[in-house]
Structure 1
Amino acid sequence: MINLKRGFKVVSSYTAKQIKLPVRATQQAAGYDFFAAEDFVLPSIWQPKFIKVLWQLFTKAKTDISATEKAAAEKDLQPLLVPTGVKAYMQADEFLMLANRSSNPLKRRLILPNGVGIVDADYYNNPKNEGEIFFQLLNFGLKSQLIKKGEKIGQGIFLPFLLADDEVHPQQKRQGGFGSSGK
């Protein structure tokens, strides 16, 4: 039996959808390019509700901003999760760092609002979403961006990590999917 160290597999819900597994573009590339699993529209943050609240804050308008207006503006600023249809397996002392493509902010006005994403080894095959990797993106451009299925959306780099001396090892097992370890 072959002992697999690290790599990528298609999530079961995408097996019949011709998903592209991440690949390195050149011989010396550190990152594996990830591709969108489906067409995805990423709206601009510059929606009327957000602009209205921003204008009221900027001009220090005397009118109060309602909780409904604030909530709608906040929703316009929320990043969206672009699916890849892919999961990653790795050793227990490794993680997959997700990073933006260098061309995304410059050419398409797309950013990862958290800077980088971290995919832990125990995210693989978690019970909530099977470990599917998503890229959290925010569009600060003036118009919506259509991300086409198979288009490069980000990159991932496998890295080792070290533990602190005298650490009390966590006993909790991962129960959920995206963002579940922060609870």
Structure 2
Amino acid sequence: MILPVVMLHADARVPVYATAGAACFDFFAVEDVFIPSKESVVIRSGIAMTVPVGKCLDIFSRSGHGFKYDVRLSNCTGIIDSDYTGEIMFKLRCDSYGGLQIRKGDRIAQGRIVDVPRYEFEVVTTLAETERGNGGFGSTGA
């Protein structure tokens, strides 16, 4: 399948899968940005893309950023709807001390296209019974 990508910046790069087995494709920074400790910074990808109708683009932090530098998306997971056609940007937060320097061309986040089924909602007075019921917040722990 082909996803149309518009290059909005001279240094923009088309997303790529790092390996044949990669579940997500990588996005790249178009400029140098420093993320200070305990702060968030918006980082531009320099691209816009068409997400097919009936699908969305899920955005995730790169695992290496999390493990090595305690950097994550500020909202933890991003969702790009199929009707959004603006530049794809990422707000990264550094939770550790020392911060992180992002260089132009660095991989900054990863994405995957997923199906988004549409549902109708029906108001009812009760829900089907389950073994768990309304137990939550650790109720299944030992």
Letter in 1 for 2:5: F
Mapped to 1, the partners of 2:120 and 2:27 lie a distance apart of 35
On the 8 A contact 2:11/2:46 being kept in 1, the answer is no
Deviations 1:7-37 (A, max 9, x none): 42212xx1xx232111001112121101111
Q: Residue in 2 aligned with 1:101?
A: 62
* Sequence identity (%): 31
What TM-score, normalized to structure 2? 0.78
On the 8 A contact 2:32/2:103 being kept in 1, the answer is yes
Give the structure with the larger helix fraction: 1
Give the structure with the larger strand fraction: 2
- State the 4+ residue runs in structure 1 displaced beyond 4 angstroms: none
**Once the 2 structures are TM-superposed, how far is the Cα of residue 166 of structure 1 from its aligned partner?**
5.9
What TM-score, normalized to structure 1? 0.62
**Alignment counterpart, residue 79 of structure 2, candidates 93, 114, 118:** 118
**Once the 2 structures are TM-superposed, how far is the Cα of residue 92 of structure 1 from its aligned partner?**
1.3
Mapped to 1, the partners of 2:121 and 2:70 lie a distance apart of 44
Q: Residue in 1 aligned with 2:23?
A: 30
On the 8 A contact 2:15/2:28 being kept in 1, the answer is yes
Deviations 1:79-109 (A, max 9, x none): 2211110112121111100001111111122
1:18 maps to 2:11: yes
Tell me the C-alpha RMSD between the 2 structures. 1.8
Mapped to 2, the partners of 1:80 and 1:119 lie a distance apart of 19
1:145 maps to 2:106: no
Give the secondary structure class of the aligned counterpart of 2:79: strand
1:40 maps to 2:33: yes
Mapped to 1, the partners of 2:101 and 2:41 lie a distance apart of 13
Mapped to 2, the partners of 1:135 and 1:153 lie a distance apart of 8
Deviations 1:123-178 (A, max 9, x none): 11xxxxxx1111111011211321000001110101110111269xxxxxxxxxxx
Q: Which runs of 5+ in 1 are unaligned?
A: 46-76, 125-130, 168-183
> Aligned residue pairs: how many?
122
Deviations 1:53-75 (A, max 9, x none): xxxxxxxxxxxxxxxxxxxxxxx
Q: Which runs of 5+ in 2 are unaligned?
A: 123-142
On the 8 A contact 2:60/2:73 being kept in 1, the answer is yes
